[in-house]
Each structure stands twice: as structure tokens, then as C-alpha cells.
Amino acid sequence: MSLSVLMDSSSPTILLHPSIEPRDETGSVLFDPSKLQKQSSLPSEFIWPCGDLVHTQEELNEPLIDLGGFIKGDEEATAHAVDLVKTACSKHGFFQVTNHGVDSNLIQAAYQEIDAVFKLPLNKKLGFQRKPGGFSGYSAAHADRFSAKLPWKETFSFGYQGLNSDPSVVHYFSSALGEDFEHTGWIYQKYCEKMRELSLVIFELLAICLGIDRLHYRKFFEDGNSIMRCNYYPPCNNSGLTLGTGPHSDPTSLTILHQDQVGGLEVFINNKWYAVRPRQDAFVINIGDTFMALCNGRYKSCLHRAVVNKERERRSLVYFVCPKEDKIVRPPQDLMCRSGGPRVYPDFTWSDLLDFTQNHYRADVATLQSFFPWLLSSNPTANF
């Protein structure tokens, strides 16, 4: 199956019953799983093209990296981790890490706390809905942004500023959801702090893999403003016709994901989809578009998706690592000197790419390729 087939826009042939799904005053579908599950047919907005729905039973053989030895400075363990990460990032950009330093009780608490948010009545969740052009808040199937190929999921997102001593996550939960969720805010404040610590460790490992100053990427991302997203994928009677998240590559720099044991994350490699096995003690790491630019295309930002289950709900916790908005994204000079090749991508800032994906473009496999012509048209003096 070629990528052109995968991205085909044709829809499956299916008979639809008259639409009875809940809608808002603008006519947009309201994602209320309790009501949608009672319908015999799936609303057309949730039906994806046949090429995107190809099923897989094969698992991705991504490496499982034990970070314990690397964190302690063990040379043999570091060399082994470097070999595994180099290979994975050159092929597809996905690997998993264990002994990462994040307490399992904190991970479990994060799931328990966010369950309470997703179980709120729909009208309450819509009270802290994401604002147009922003990323913080609740989203029901992204129906506020798109009208077709809607994902079968709910999300709750918010920002995290790593060098800010102010507990910004706690303040966001208290102001957006109310004082009853202050404890939830503290759990996620701690969770984001641990995600930041883990991301900086991984950036050191990636720098060693690329043969540059070990601290280069760590310093670049230390003052970054990252994004935390919690995903809830309800069961779907017509799970074979829809997706929880459509095929895309992440526009951010690095993604740190924990998925529950239901599974659903899949990666597209060599014209085939492969499932990523859930591991309770591991985080899934994948390279994003921004880091692909930061390493001049040496490591891959790979197409991936999330499928939904017919009988079981699925949850995941995703931390998107981003640089500070005004930092110039360009590969380090010592990497360019070592490789001797030309620049693959022009300079840009994360704020420009974030604006592009939030207001002008739906992230897919061609986000970066589409971003640069837009950037040039909006800023003719850009350094191309």
C-alpha cells in the first residue's frame, strides 16, 4: 500500500440513517458518546477514508531503552542505549524507555484525576472549551476546528512553563475548572515537572547519538513552554469506520506518551501500519517535526495514528516538548560541520509553526513541507 493510497480522500460506501446526533447552534456535531453510542450508524463527520482505515495485526519492534544506566553514567549502558536510539531514530523515530525516574503512583494518579474531568457533564466541559487559535482547554472531537474526519475522542490540554517557579498548572486547573480541581492541578504540576526532567535526559541522549555537545539540546529546551494533553477514547460500535487520531506527524519537538493497557497507537513504516505495544512501566518516545529540523533531517518524524476499540475505553497521557516560542529553530553548527551536507530546512520559530498548525493547517504527514511556503508568503524577509 503506497502513501498516496493511505492519504486518499475517498470515503467508504455506507448507508447512513437520518442524522439524530446532538448538534450545537451552529449545526456542528456535539461529541456526546453516551448518545452517539445508541445510534445504529455513525455520523458522517466521524467516517474516515478507506485508505486511512487499513487494519494491522503486526507489532512495531521498537527498542526498549533502559535509562537507568545512562542516568547513572554507566559507559557500557550508555553505549548500548546510543546504538539502539540511533537505529530507531534513523528508521522511524519511535522507542520506549524504562527506569525513567517517574513514579508509577504518580502516573496512576494522573489517570485517576483526569477521569473525573472527562466524566463531567458535557455542558460543564464545554464551559472550559478550548478557545479558537489556542490549545488549552477541553475539545470534543475537535469539532470546534474541523467538520469532517473528526477523531473519536475527547481531549484536555494545557501549557507548562518549565522555568516558571509559579505553579501555573495548578492555577490553570483552579481558574478553568474551579477550586474542586486544585488537587488535580497539583498532580499534573508534578507530572509535568517529571516529564520536563525526563525530556532533558532524552535530549542529552539524542545529542550523544548525533555526535554533538551533550548539553546542546538540553540548554536549548530548558526554558521551553511545553503542552500537556490528556486523551480519552470512548468505545465505538462502528470502530472500523473511524479513528481516535488520524494519520499525522507531531509538529512539536519530542513526544512523551504513556498509554493504558488497551492499546491503539500505530506507526506507518515502509507502507505498513504497526501497533506499538502498551507497557505499563514505559513511556513511548517519538521525534517530532521541530526536532527533525533541529537535527537537519537526520532523525525521522514518523506518521502515526490512534485506533479506537469497539468495547473498551482507552486513555493516554501525552507531553509535547516545545522550545521557547521565540527561539530560532536551526541545527547546531557542529552537526552541520560533521555531516558536511546542505541545510534541509530553513530557520523558523516554534511560535510560527504553532500558529500555522493551530490556525491554518491540520497536522498530517506534510506539515513541514506545507509550513515553509506559508511562512515565506507571510514573511518575505524570512531566512530561506
SS3 329: strand
Nearest by Cα to 129 from 158, 171, 159: 158
Q: Is the pLDDT at 359 greater than 80, yes or no?
A: yes
User: Among residues 314, 315, 338, 343, which one is catalytic?
Assistant: 314
Which pLDDT band holds residue 30 (cuts at 50, 70, 90)?
confident
pLDDT at 24: 56
Mean per-residue pLDDT, 334-349:
90
Q: Is the pLDDT at 237 greater than 60, yes or no?
A: yes
SS3 4: helix
Mean per-residue pLDDT, 160-173:
88
279 is catalytic: no
Separation of alpha carbons 156 and 118, rounded Å:
8
**In degrees, to the nearest 5, what angle opens at C-alpha 94 toward C-alphas 89 and 99?**
105
Q: Is the pLDDT at 97 greater than 80, yes or no?
A: yes
Nearest by Cα to 266 from 297, 244, 283: 244
Grid coordinates standing for 187?
A: 498532580
- Residue that has been written with the C-alpha cell 517535526 in this structure: 289
pTM more than 0.95: no
Averaged confidence pLDDT in the chain? 90
Nearest by Cα to 112 from 179, 35, 169, 191: 191
CB 141 within 8 A of CB 150: yes
| CATH code at 56-378 | 2.60.120.330
Which pLDDT band holds residue 23 (cuts at 50, 70, 90)?
low
Which pLDDT band holds residue 6 (cuts at 50, 70, 90)?
very low
CB 222 within 8 A of CB 163: yes
